Structure 1
Amino acid sequence: MARIEHFNNPNAPRPNSIVVAVTVFVLDDQGRVLLIRRTDNGLWALPGGAQDFGEYIAEAAVRETREEAGVEIEVTDVVGIYTNPNHLVEYSDGEVRQQFSICFRARYVAGVPTTSDESSEVDWITRSDLNSRQIHPSMRLRIDHGYEDRDKPYIG
């Protein structure tokens, strides 16, 4: 399913749903962040997705990282909670979702970056290489917050 990201767009369609979603900020032992290149919009992003019925939110983070990136992680903390009402995602089926995402910090456990139906590329990216990747501003904010290693989670 295709998606269009609307960010501070006054002509964006009105939202018709909010879904609890997660993203995961995880570094390898060289300080590189795990990113996927999404198949639905071609942008680089942290692994993540919607919480399923019957699972804890941290379980969703572990599952989504495994499914999208082939990497096993352990959730260790919260980077932030992202709820900008001016960030909408419009899907080809008519859903227009208002952002609600919890970004977790995680520890790499095992696995080799592997693509999936949702990721055309998966790689550990150096901080200095981030500017050469197409990353949505909202996702870049989460990545930057992850590298800041704040004392308290971002709430916004």
Structure 2
Amino acid sequence: MSWQPHITVATVVEDNGRFLLVEEHAEGRQVFNQPAGHLEANETIGQAALRETLEETGWEVELTAVTGIYLYTAPSNGVTYQRVCFAAKPIAHHTELALDDGIIGPQWLTRDELAAQPERWRSELVLRCIDDYIAGERFSLSLLRD
């Protein structure tokens, strides 16, 4: 049997102490996640993060740094994900865009509002990425080579 991690991207978008989250349906429940998704063929990791953020929230963002690279095995299905998480700043909200299937909509929450609802996290990475961002974890985008 071959083991292959799934490469994913996520963005931590902060505006005045609030973080852009995606409220979505996953595994039969409503959960919060960063704008996140899988790397697709013929795109860079940065392009994937920009695309996923726009498709899931309608927000155009500018990537400013890498917050961290995480390895996570989901207890629900045993799949291992490698997540490259970016810090980003909001540029424009395109309310006319249709969001991806399963997305309820974007939500702006404080860290404390999110922390008070652990049962609604898509995974433990949701709060961890925000905590790393708050702690000042920022690595140059030049860390990534396309």
Contact 1:81 1:100 in 2 (8 A): yes
Offset from partner CA, 1:96-116 (integer Å, 9 cap, x none): 521211001111111057754
Name 1:48's counterpart in structure 2: 36
* In 1, Cα distance between equivalents of 2:102 and 2:13: 18
**Match of 2:42, as an amino acid?**
G
Q: How has the CA–CA distance of structure 1 residues 57 and 125 changed in structure 2, closer, same or farther, with 3 Å as cutoff? A: same
* In 1, Cα distance between equivalents of 2:65 and 2:22: 21
Offset from partner CA, 1:24-52 (integer Å, 9 cap, x none): 00112x22100012212322110110111
* Structure 2 gap ranges (5+): 141-146
Shift of 1:142: 1.1
Identify which of 109, 121, 127 aligns with 2:105. Answer: 121
1:60 counterpart = 2:48: yes
Name 2:71's counterpart in structure 1: 83
Contact 2:56 2:105 in 1 (8 A): no
Identify which of 86, 90, 93 aligns with 1:108. Answer: 90
Contact 1:21 1:51 in 2 (8 A): yes
State the number of aligned residues: 133
Q: How has the CA–CA distance of structure 1 residues 147 and 15 changed in structure 2, closer, same or farther, with 3 Å as cutoff? A: farther
Name 2:60's counterpart in structure 1: 72
* In 2, Cα distance between equivalents of 1:69 and 1:151: 23
1:142 counterpart = 2:129: yes
Offset from partner CA, 1:47-72 (integer Å, 9 cap, x none): 11011111111000000000011100
TM-score by length of 2: 0.79
Identify which of 10, 17, 20 aligns with 1:23. Answer: 10
* In 2, Cα distance between equivalents of 1:61 and 1:145: 18
Superposed CA RMSD in Å reads 2.4
